[in-house]
Amino acid sequence: MIYLIRHGQTDWNTARRIQGTTDVPLNAVGQKQALTLLPEIKALKLDRIFVSNLKRARETAEILNREIQVPIIADDRLREISFGKWEGRSVLDLSDSVWHQFYQHPEQIGSEPLINVFQRVKSFFEATDLSRNTLIVTHSGTLRIMAYYWEHPESFDFKTYIPFSRVSFRNTSLLCPDENGRLSYFESEGI
């Protein structure tokens, strides 16, 4: 079985700043969120944890692993989308037309094209044996691409992706794909 968690809260989350690949650590609330999940994580009987190479995800995984002591495997294919020169900006400063620029012309802001994120997520899942109980600790943008991938594994189409771009994942929400590949909350819905 595969389980997924969005990392715990950071100060940039509370300020509604775009983090992307900026390496922002968990704040005290984010650390507490991860600790709160420990009983549920123990009950999953995990064999291993895959984690993004960004600090906020690694810290979340390390806290979750305190009692279960399974291998933690960092994989940069699980990192958040790079938002280029937008990183650090408030989400509230970005209008719909600015978001259109991100989706249609990411190179203009030095951002990572969504097709690239899809390709690295696809590469991860094609190369990873998921027959064992596995936890993945990652980011909301990456989770959206994963949700898209499970329903459309062959290729990325922006128009088909649009509904996925609107899905929100709370910090430390624990998810698992259902039999149709759709992500659903597994007991906890985060804090």
Which amino acids are annotated catalytic?
7, 80
- 190 within some domain: no
pLDDT the model gives residue 185? 66
pLDDT the model gives residue 186? 57
Strand order through the sheet with 48-51: 72-74, 48-51, 134-138, 2-6, 174-177, 183-185
Q: CA 184 to CA 58: how far, in whole Å?
A: 23
Q: CA 39 to CA 141: how far, in whole Å?
A: 26
- 15 within some domain: yes
- 52 within some domain: yes
Signed CA dihedral, 46, 74, 169, 33: sign only:
positive
Q: What one-character DSSP code corresponds to residue 154?
A: S
Residue ranges making up the domain that contains 169:
2-185
Q: How many domains does the chain have?
A: 1
pLDDT the model gives residue 191? 44
**Exposed e or buried b per residue across 75-99, where buried means at least 16 C-beta atoms within 10 angstroms of its C-beta:** bebbbbbbbbebbeeeeeeeeeeee
pLDDT the model gives residue 95? 85
Q: CA 186 to CA 144: how far, in whole Å?
A: 16
- 191 within some domain: no
- 64 within some domain: yes
pLDDT in tens, the chain (191 residues): 899 999 999 999 999 999 999 999 999 999 999 999 999 999 999 999 999 999 999 999 999 999 899 999 999 999 999 999 999 999 998 888 888 888 888 999 999 999 999 999 999 999 999 889 999 999 999 999 999 999 999 999 999 999 998 888 999 999 887 776 677 765 444 44
For residue 152, the domain's CATH number is 3.40.50.1240
The neighbour count for residue 190, using CB atoms within 10 Å, is 18
Model confidence, pTM: 0.92
